[in-house]
Amino acid sequence: MKSIWLIARREFASVFRSPQGYIIAALYLGLVGLDYNLRVLGGGEKFSADILKGFFQELSGFTMFVSVFISMGLIAKERENGTIPLLLTSPVKDYQIVTGKFLGAFLFLALLTLATVYMPMLVLVNGKVAWGHVFAGYLGTILLGASVLGIGTFGSSLTKSQIVAVFITLGIGVPMVLFWMLGRTVDRPLNEIFSYLALHNLHFSAFRDGQIHLRDIVFYFSVVVFFLFSATRTLESRRWR
């Protein structure tokens, strides 16, 4: 556990030692703020609950998108810079490397996501905020982002190019987001399977509406574990090449 935490701290700190982390943060917070004012608050008077639903719906999309770019260099950058042999020959196991890097990226993502909390708080100016709704919305958004980070970690483990890692992550993540559309066009039981595997629609809607279901938490955790396991196996296979 100590090795995982040390790697996570190193990865988290590295974000603030390069312009890339600040650029990602500025773009994310700027676009979320602009979208909040134009799309969420725009369009006339709305109930507070509707504003929160709209906010988390929009925030989830930005969070998935930024997770792709946060994760693209987790392992690919080590290969690109020629530092991967140092990691592989250090006294840590492959799962510790993968988990530590994922946790470092997750901490940065969580920090970015929670930095938007002032936006739903603006509702207090003219209305009331259901704190349970806010908690559920952020929990779902962070879990959704963690799932994309898991996919991105796997994508980053397959290549030494960060750009290629982005396309691999999108190639896996976009179909998983759109599975709900496929679920509407096929018959049972395939429709239920595709609907359940959809990364966003079925499992995030409850969080967006202020509800927390254990099945949705389990699903997102399962996605993270599966892709981190896949990334670990990829790292193990490349170790012996």
Q: How high is the pLDDT of residue 167? A: 94
Residue 190 has pLDDT above 80, yes or no: no
Residue 137 has pLDDT above 70, yes or no: yes
Q: How high is the pLDDT of residue 76? A: 85
The reported pTM is 0.91
What integer best gives the mean pLDDT of the chain?
Answer: 87
pLDDT greater at residue 138 or residue 96:
138
pLDDT band at 239 (very low <50, low <70, confident <90, very high): low
Q: What is the mean pLDDT of residues 36-59?
A: 84
DSSP 8-state class, residue 115: T
Q: How high is the pLDDT of residue 93? A: 85
Q: How high is the pLDDT of residue 55? A: 92
Q: How high is the pLDDT of residue 240? A: 56
Q: How high is the pLDDT of residue 241? A: 56
Question: Which range has highest mean pLDDT (5-19, 142-156, 196-210)?
Answer: 142-156
Residue 35 has pLDDT above 60, yes or no: yes
Q: How high is the pLDDT of residue 126? A: 73
Can you read off the two tokens belonging to residue 42?
Answer: 């725009």
Residue 26, class by beta-carbon neighbours within 10 Å (0-12 exposed, 13-18 middle, 19+ buried)?
A: exposed
